[in-house]
Every structure is written in structure tokens, then in C-alpha cells.
Homo-oligomer: A and B are copies of this chain.
Amino acid sequence: MSLTGIFPIDKWNFRSQSIFLNLPDEEYELLCANQQEQVFEQGEIIFREGGIPSGIYFIKYGKIKKYKADKDGREQIIYVANTGEIIGYHAILGDDRYPDSAAALEDCLLKFVPKEDFLAALQQSPILTQRLLKALSHEFAVLSNTISVFAQRSVKERLAIALIVLREKYKDDSAPGEEVTINISRTDLANIVGTAKENVVRFLKEFKEQQLIHTAGRKIHIIDIKKLIEISNYVS
């Protein structure tokens, strides 16, 4: 089931995967010079909002939630980064502290590139710079899209959107042809949608009764994505 033409999935995903692809050798080696592989287990925090950045992370595999916590500890997930994406560059490029926190949604393998190497590569690579500019500009589109959805859409609509978007992210994890399994806690799902987990449970139940999804424990399978897109009430 392709979403082409029926759901604007590109407005929901960043484009940092392509940044390090096919770079000139010299620049690529600069980036790799002091890189370090790091394993993060499910739930582990990679960096915290307000912390001083020391480098960037390339996701070899795994999913990472980027979120902000309010003072009562409630998290709002801003974005779910997937295999192949890069995180942690905003703080370094902006010469600032981390604007958000990052934690592993599942066991992850990351490649850490120290700040100095990243900045050095940037210095001498117009291609890298150009790609970053393009990626960041696209992120603006994604985030402003998210803002308008939060401001204008109901919880049920937002949950439908979240399921559609998550299905794309979990696609790579299942064998082609096989049904996609969204494997995420109700609490994290609620923190993506921006509501209480009780509401998530209730609407999931409704979707289940309408035969749009199927659940088994925390796992969610999407059965009728077209209906979900209808419910999301979200076009163009």
C-alpha cells in the first residue's frame, strides 16, 4: 500500500538520511576519523535538552524519540528519527545548547562524530553545507505542518495521522509483504499525539471496533489505512 497521492508523508519526515551519502572521500574521511560506535538500549537517553553538544549521531539502526519534557515530566515527542537519519546537529550548527532531548525508542546502534570533525568537514565541503541547508529547510516545513495539526486537529485525527506516519517508520523492520507492526508503548504514542494515554487507548479501541487496526498487547497492525486517512481528515 503506497501512500503516494493519498497522504503527504513527506510532510512528516525529515530528510537527513541523504546528507552523508556519496560525499567526496576526503570529506567522508574527516567525518570518520574519530567516529565511535555507541549502543543505546531501549529507553536510554542520548542527550538532554539544555545540554552542551559534543558531536552528532548517525543512526546505524534503531528509532529515537526527540522530545521536550515539561516541568511535570510529561514528554512531548517532536519527532521520531529512524535508521539512516542524523541527530544532534541543530545545537552544533546553531552554536547553542540542545533544543530537545533524545532517547532510544528501541535498542539502537549509533555512530558518534565529534563536533570538531563535523565542523571541519563542514568548513571544507560545500556539498555538505548545501545538503544541510536543504535538510533544515525541509524540517521547517515538517515542523510548521506539525504545529498547524496540533492547533487545528482533534485528538482522534492526530492519532490517525500518528498511526499512518509510524507505519511508514516501522515498515523497514518487517519483511516486505509481511504486515507492518507498530511496536511502541501507549505512553510514547500518547506523547506523540499530545494527549493522555487513556484517550489513546479509547480511540484505538474505537479503531479496532471499526476494523481499521488490530492490536496484540502493545503491538499495532494497520488493516485499513485508507479509512484511517479519511479519519485523519488531512489532505494535501
Contacts and interface: CB of A to CB of B under 8 A. Distances in A.
A78 B146 CA distance: 10
A76 B94 CA distance: 26
B236 A50 contact: yes
Contacts of A150: 147, 150-151, 194
A137 B76 contact: no
**Secondary structure of the A side of the interface?**
helix
Number of copies: 2
A121 to B, nearest CB: 13
Contact of A143 (B71, B130, B140, B236): B140
Given A94-B134, A94-B138, A133-B136, A70 B148 contact: yes
Nearest to A89: B137
Interface string A148-167: 10111000000000000000
Contacts of A175: none
B151 A93 contact: no
Given A94-B134, A129-B133, A133-B129, A68 B140 contact: no
23 contacts: A68-B145, A70-B148, A76-B147, A76-B148, A90-B137, A93-B137, A94-B137, A94-B138, A94-B140, A95-B134, A99-B140, A99-B141, A99-B145, A100-B144, A129-B130, A129-B133, A133-B133, A133-B136, A136-B139, A140-B143, A143-B147, A146-B147, A147-B147
Given A76-B147, A140-B140, 17 more contacts: A66-B144, A68-B145, A70-B152, A89-B137, A90-B141, A93-B133, A94-B134, A94-B137, A94-B140, A96-B141, A99-B141, A99-B144, A129-B130, A139-B140, A143-B147, A147-B147, A150-B194
List of 7 A-B pairs having minimum Cβ-Cβ separation, nearest first: A94-B137, A151-B194, A99-B141, A136-B136, A143-B143, A93-B137, A150-B150
